[in-house]
Copies of this chain bind each other. A is one copy, B any other.
Amino acid sequence: MIDEKISPAVIRRLPRYYRYLSEMEEAGIDKLSSSQMSMDMGLNASQIRRDLNCFGGFGQQGYGYSVTKLKKEIARILGLNKRYKVVIIGAGRIGQALLGYRSFMLEGFEIVGIFDSDPAKMGLLPEGHEVFGLESLDSFIAENGIDIAIICTPKEAAQKSADHLVSCGIKGIWNFAPVDVAVRRGVAVENIHLSDSLYVLSYKLCK
The interface of chain A, by Cβ under 8 A from chain B, is: 1, 11-12, 14-16, 18-19, 77-80, 82, 84, 93-94, 96-97, 100-101, 103-104, 107, 109, 147-148, 171-174, 178-180, 188-207
Contacts and interface: CB of A to CB of B under 8 A. Distances in A.
Contacts of A179: 19
A129 to B, nearest CB: 13
A173 B202 CA distance: 10
**Interface centre among A94, A96, A104, by most B CB within 10 Å?**
A94
B93 A97 contact: yes
Given A174-B201, A203-B78, A196 B101 contact: no
Nearest to A16: B196
**Interface centre among A172, A179, A197, A199, by most B CB within 10 Å?**
A199
Contact of A190 (B174, B188, B189, B197): B197
B78 A11 contact: no
A77 B1 contact: no
Given A78-B199, A79-B203, A96-B97, 15 more contacts: A1-B206, A12-B200, A14-B203, A15-B195, A19-B196, A79-B202, A84-B202, A93-B100, A94-B97, A101-B194, A104-B198, A109-B202, A172-B204, A192-B192, A192-B197
